[in-house]
Structures are given as structure tokens and as C-alpha cells.
Structure 1
């Protein structure tokens, strides 16, 4: 498998945290949905990703590949082939004025956080504290996965689109996604960060989510998230609902121009304010592809 540097993984992890897996009950089990009707000349497709997964759990079957081949462009949350993205990500990963957040971290979390960072990255929070909490969370998440090599649907589709000479576009910019996190209180983010290294609930929940994702069971994913009370759940309107609303006009315009393969976090698909529901309300037929 191709190896990626830290900056590239931060891009994917940004998507992972921002998209989450919050969803709502769907009557059919599927991660791939065909979009048709409402004047569209060609069908487009919507695929729900999970942004990081171990290679042996990575799902890629003929129906997904066929849907991808039958479209003309790839649209994800971010334009992953933007040559300036890594530079922007690195710049925006730092706290304003290079402020170090170490003094704001509760003592009950600091020792465990220091130990984790020293063991995995060779430096303590006194050095890494200039990074925004979501970056630190990303670094921890990467090391907590039960595999050394990581697969990403976003990077997979980016490479496939490049091979097939398809246009790659994004629904959002890195700057916009950073602003989403900036709306969440720092103290809240730091507490979530501390819980990642002092509690094992998040790792257990993630493993169960992987199982539900592989089963394409959006109902089960909804139930798990609804009971978890994570950052995504507490700030769902900011992190999911508002963004879904913003996407629909752009998605409509893109589909009218060319057959499009949309690949976004599975958390954006379901619910009354999810992309599937919003597209249906806009007059499109959205069907599960089995």
C-alpha cells in the first residue's frame, strides 16, 4: 500500500472528525445511492465513506466501481488534488499567535496525554500544544487504530479519478472546515482530547461502527451515535446539518452539468437533515444500490 505523510493523513483525519458517523434510520442497508429524475440527463451517485479504515476492512465491490466508471467527475468534501491543500492545512493547524494550549488541559488528562504523545511521537504536550485540538485528536486517532497501514476511501477515489482522468472537486474548502471547529469551545475540544487517552470507550465504539459500516447498516450507526454523546452529536447542527444544507445547491448544479460521483462521510447521508432526505425534498429520486 502507498504510504502517506503526516500532512496528507491530517487532511483525511480532518474529514474523519468533521463528518463523524451521525446518521438517522434508513429503510434499506446501503452506502451507495443512485440519484436520478428532476431533469437530470444522466444518473449521479452518492457514496458514504468512513474516512479511515484498516486494509482488511476496506470495502470496494463491483457496484461501487461500476457507478464510479459511469460518472464523469468525482466530488468529495474537499478537493483532494488541490496542490495548495497541504500547505493550507499546515498553516491552519496552528493556534492563533502560536498559543500553547497546555495550561488549559485539565491535570486529570495531562499525564496520560503526555505519555501517549511521548511514546508515539517523541514529544510532549508542551511542544505539541501549539497545534489545534482537532489536529492532536487526529494524531491520537491515527495511532489508536488496530493496524499500522491505513486505507482511505478519499485517497482511493482520488487515485482512481486521476487514473481515469476525471475532474476532482470539493464541496468545501479547508478554511471553511477549520471554521466549523472554531465554533466549538476549546475547553470542550480539550476534554474530548483527554478522554481519548484516558478512556477506552471511543476505541470500542469505533470498532463497533466499523462493523456496522461494513454491514452498510445506517440504522445501527444511528443508534450507536445517538447513545454516545460525542462532539459530533453535541454539535450536530454545526458539524452536519448546516453543511448538508449548504451542499445541496452545489450538488444540483454539478449533477446538471455532468454525471457525478459524490463521496462524503456516511454521517451526512441519513436523517431528516441528511443529504438523501434533502435531495428527495428537492425533487430527486434517490435509490439504494444493492
Structure 2
């Protein structure tokens, strides 16, 4: 019985690890050589890739790399931060005190004191008084996420994260580099800012609801981080099917069409062009692989063969 159990366990583990970690080959449609997609988990260290022979073999064949954007380019990051700062600010001359009533401000101040140990109305917080209400929600979410990540040391970024790791190594090898996303031109940022400002009352309602139900929101983030930790396990095992079928990621993709579906569709022409130019490694978040609007299915719809690479034994 013991031998049978060990044999069954060995077979099960072999089945789970029969695929390389979210690594896919693109071929067909008369492209000269295959290209590859690495679905990344942004919190995992890139050094893990050195222990995956299938990835190293694919990487060596590629002549260019495309990532979501160049997170190694400090100037571009600074430009994006400046543009983003402009987009998330209230109209000139307005502060949060102009859009929240006294009762709402008291609630915000109470929660800030509870979470950050500082009164929002203190002068040390003056730099963020002109932020839109949604930015304050994001601020709370970031600290709650950070607190939850400390409970999952397996997600800690020990060393360089996967996406940055791939970008740095591609540049060291002298490969061509491309971005699937671009920093938005100033006119688009202005339109986005005007659109957001037109919905300030909706943002206020969202902020008040968030502050009133903060314990529940914290629990939601804890549940999400547990799901992300599970995703990291799936990735390390190469178990893409379990990842793609998980309720968490299906719901994330469906709830955020602009983050996933719309971006995937914008990326597709760049991907199709790149794979006709040269063997290319694409590195982006694994969530963009999932479902009928995922990059894998979009490529298949175009007639390409896309298959997860098997581990050699």
C-alpha cells in the first residue's frame, strides 16, 4: 500500500510539472521561426528562470524582447509619474476639502489616523490634499496589500522581479527591445483627467463606502493575496490550467475589461508584427493569458499555433 501511494504521488507530481512555467511557443502561419510568451507573476524573482532549461533554450533563440513597458528606463518612469500626477489631481485650486463635507472629512481623518497614525488634516499631509478621492482609496489599498504580502514571504521580491530581470538580460545581450504599452500622450492624459474630474461625485461616494466598510475591504485584499500566492505556486509547478480556471483570475479578467481585454486587443497588432520580424520573447503578466479575450486565444483566432512548452525528461 505504501509503495502504491508513493507511486501515485510521483505520477501526480510528474503530471503537475509536465509543463514549463507559463511558457508558450507561437508558430504557424508561415512565420520563419517560433516566438515565445512568458506569462509572469510580477512578485516572483527573475532568478527562478535560470533553473528552467526550457526557458533558457527559448531565450537563446530570440532576437528581440517585448515587455508591457520598459520598467528599467528611469527617465520614462519619471515622465509617466509626472503625467500620472497631473491626471490624478483635482482641478486647479481645488482640494479634498472642497469635495468632501465635514462629516465625510471626519470619517477620512479617523481612518487615516487608524491606518497611518497621522491626521489627514495635519499640515504634513498637505501635498496630497489636491488628490482625487479615488487616489485615497488606492493609498489605503496599497498599505493593506503591503501588510498582507508580509504574511506571504514566498511572494517577497528577493532579487530582481521577473519582468525587470528579462528586460535587463535582453539589453545586456544587445537584443532589440519593444514595449506593448506606451506612455499616454498629453492630450490623452488631459481627456482622462477631464473625464475623471467630471465624476468627482461618484468618486466621493466610492470613498465614503470604502471608509465605512474598511474591515470588509481589508479582508477582500487578504483573500486576493492568498489567491496571488496560489498563483505563484501554480507558476512554479507549470500548472497553467489550474491558474487559468481559478475563479479569482476569471473574475479579475471579467471585472476589469480595460485592464485585460482592451489592452490585449491593443497589443495584438504589435505581437503579430514582431513575430514576423524575428523570433521574439514576450513577457507580461499571466492574467493577460486567460480566457477568450486572452492573448493566447486571440493569437489562435488569428490562425497561429500556441502551445505550452513541455518539460523535457
Q: Same fold (TM over 0.5)?
A: yes
Distance 2:164 2:287 in 1: 18
> Do residues 164 (structure 1) and 168 (structure 2) align?
no
> Would the aligned equivalents of 1:114 and 1:124 in 2 still touch at CA under 8 Å?
no
Distance 1:283 1:226 in 2: 25
Match of 1:46 among 37, 56, 59: 37
Deviation at 1:192, TM superposition (A): 6.3
Counterparts of 1:107-118 in structure 2, within 5 Å, are 111-118=110-117
Distance 2:179 2:296 in 1: 18
What residue is the counterpart of 1:257 in the other structure? 277
Q: CA RMSD in A?
A: 3.9
Going by fraction, where is helix more abundant, 1 or 2? Answer: 2
Structure with max Cα Rg: 2
TM-score (norm 2): 0.66
Structure 1 residues 278 and 130: CA distance shift in structure 2, 3 A = same
> Do residues 62 (structure 1) and 67 (structure 2) align?
no
Deviation at 1:199, TM superposition (A): 1.6
What residue is the counterpart of 1:205 in the other structure? 224
Q: Deviations over 1:82-122 (max 9, x none)?
A: 45312222212322346545755786565334443458xx9
Distance 1:265 1:106 in 2: 37
Distance 1:31 1:82 in 2: 26
> Would the aligned equivalents of 2:144 and 2:218 in 1 still touch at CA under 8 Å?
no
Q: Deviations over 1:31-87 (max 9, x none)?
A: 11000111211111011112224x5x9742222222222211110111334453122
Distance 2:167 2:192 in 1: 24
> Do residues 270 (structure 1) and 261 (structure 2) align?
no
> Would the aligned equivalents of 2:38 and 2:282 in 1 still touch at CA under 8 Å?
yes
Structure 1 residues 156 and 223: CA distance shift in structure 2, 3 A = same
Deviation at 1:255, TM superposition (A): 0.8
> Would the aligned equivalents of 2:249 and 2:287 in 1 still touch at CA under 8 Å?
no
Deviation at 1:154, TM superposition (A): 1.6
Unaligned runs of at least 5 residues, structure 1: 1-27
3-state DSSP of counterpart to 1:79: coil
Counterparts of 1:133-144 in structure 2, within 5 Å, are 133=135, 136=139, 137-138=141-142, 141-142=145-146, 144=148
Unaligned runs of at least 5 residues, structure 2: 1-18
Deviation at 1:130, TM superposition (A): 4.1
What residue is the counterpart of 1:4 in the other structure? none
